Amino acid sequence: MAASMQQAPTTLAADIVGNAFVHLYYLKLRQSPELVHKFYEDVSKYGRPKEDGAMSITTTMQAINDKILSLDHEEFSAEITTVDAQESYNGSVLVLVTGNLTGKDNVRRRKFTQSFFLAPQDKGYFVLNDGLITYHAASLLTTMFHPCKRIMEMAQSKKRKQYMLRRTYSCVPISSSPTQASLRSIKSQEQQLVASTNAAVDNGNSQEGPRVYLKGLPVNATHGLVENEFKRFGTIRSGGIQSIKMHKGFCSGFVEFVEETAVQSATEASPILIKPTDV
């Protein structure tokens, strides 16, 4: 029987399920990796990258257990940066986790993104699908740029339909109505502001210009403060600083420029530090 949260799936919100699962999963992975396979079932699919970058899929609880024990999880500790969860089909929950893996020597460091599809069962959930990718921080901009470009080409070839690709640090495409981020961790009073380019394709009904998405804004950030920091990259449209608001302790917004080159300049400069004065 797979490990579960001991609650009926229909009684819990997706963010509660996601938070509880992530806390328990990574705790077990660090302390008792030999028990982690109990989160899965024989029908589960466990995806991990091979040396050539292709995804290797493992199934059945025994094979998943063997795979987990072969990956030297004790050599790395996981620091969770974000957890996002949303309800999915028939009571299931989709969970997306980002963070850092740090070696015992505190020198080896890799970023990771992991997705879980939690399927409901009698007394909780089990992991039906699990996919993980890792990448070195120094190569993040290089490895993550090309998928963003391909998404844009796909969108243009399909009658300019909008596609959205979530990116960290360098590119976070957003639609005309950005979705709210959930469960973000803000770790210091001097917070990092990450400038991220908008690669959403114009659908012909919008006059919006090129934009950068801002996440991790200081809670007392003002429009004037943001304008002073970003006007060095290019001309900001009139009224182009929008949607600065709080949600669960997380402040976000975006800046709309006149020139495309301003977006590229802001992206290359990210992450950007903002030190707000008391307001």
CATH number at residue 235: 3.30.70.330
Please tell me which residue, 106 or 64, carries the higher pLDDT value: 64
Mean pLDDT of the chain: 71
Considering the domain architecture, whether residues 50 and 107 belong to the same structural domain is answered as: yes
Q: Once rounded to an integer, what is the mean pLDDT over residues 67-90?
A: 88
pLDDT of amino acid 92: 94
Is 177 within a domain? yes
Q: How many CB atoms sit inside 10 A of residue 185's CB?
A: 13
* Residue 183 sits in the same domain as residue 243: yes
- Type and span of the H or E element at 59: strand 55-59
Cα-based torsion angle of the residue sequence 193, 195, 196, 202 in order, rounded to the nearest 10 degrees: 120
- Residues 34, 64 share a domain: yes
- Report the C-alpha gap between 220 and 205 in whole angstroms: 34
- If one compares 18 and 154, the residue with the highest pLDDT of the two is 18
Query: Phi, psi at residue 94, to the nearest 5°?
Result: -100, 125
- Per residue in 229-265, pLDDT tens? 888 899 988 888 865 554 444 566 778 888 888 888 8
Co-location of 175 and 55 in the same domain: no
Q: What percentage of the chain exceeds 90 in pLDDT?
A: 26
Query: Torsion over CA of 19, 23, 25 and 30, rounded to 10 degrees?
Result: 160
Average confidence (pLDDT) over 118-142: 78
pLDDT higher than 50, residue 14: yes
**Is the model more confident about 223 or about 1?**
223
Asked if 100 and 215 sit in the same domain, the reply is no
Domain that holds residue 76: 9-137
Strand order of the β-sheet with 40-49 is: 55-59, 40-49, 124-136, 109-121, 93-103, 76-87
Do residues 278 and 220 touch, judged by C-beta distance below 8 A? yes
Q: Is the pLDDT of residue 161 over 50?
A: no
Q: Mean pLDDT throughout 220-235?
A: 83
Q: Does residue 1 form part of some domain?
A: no
Q: Which two tokens stand for residue 3?
A: 């490990």
Query: Is the residue at 142 inside a domain?
Result: no
What pLDDT, on a 0 to 100 scale, did the predictor assign at position 87? 94
- Is residue 120 over pLDDT 50? yes
Q: Is residue 132 domain-shared with residue 179, that is, in the same domain?
A: no
CA distance 4 to 30: 18
Number of structural domains the chain divides into: 2
Residue 219: band (very low, low, confident or very high) from pLDDT cuts 50, 70, 90: low
Q: How many helices and strands, by DSSP H and E, does the chain display?
A: 5, 11
CATH code where residue 28 lies: 3.10.450.50
Residue 222 has pLDDT above 90, yes or no: no
Task: Indicate the SS3 state at residue 146.
Answer: helix
* pLDDT band, very low/low/confident/very high, at 187 (cuts 50, 70, 90): very low
The two three-digit tokens of residue 236, written as one number:
């900001």
Domain membership flag for residue 259 = yes
Distance in angstroms (rounded) separating the CA atoms of residues 259 and 13: 42
Cα distance between residue 241 and residue 237, in whole Å: 8
Q: Are residue 17 and residue 101 in the same domain, yes or no?
A: yes
- 116 and 32 within one domain: yes
In a domain, 94, yes or no: yes
Q: Are residue 124 and residue 198 in the same domain, yes or no?
A: no
Phi-psi region of 32 (alpha: psi -120 to 50; beta: other; left: phi over 0): beta
pLDDT at 267: 81
The pLDDT assigned to 89 comes to 92
Tell me which H or E stretch contains 267.
Answer: helix 260-269
Report CA Rg, the chain.
20
In this predicted structure, what is the pLDDT of residue 143?
40
What pTM does this model have?
0.47
* Domain co-membership, 165 together with 263: yes
Q: Are residues 33 and 117 in the same domain?
A: yes
Residue 243 has a pLDDT of: 53
Residues 88 and 15 in one domain: yes
Residue 178 vs residues 165, 181, 182, 200, 246: alpha-carbon distances, Å: 12, 9, 12, 11, 14
Q: Give the pLDDT confidence score for residue 6 in this predicted structure.
A: 43
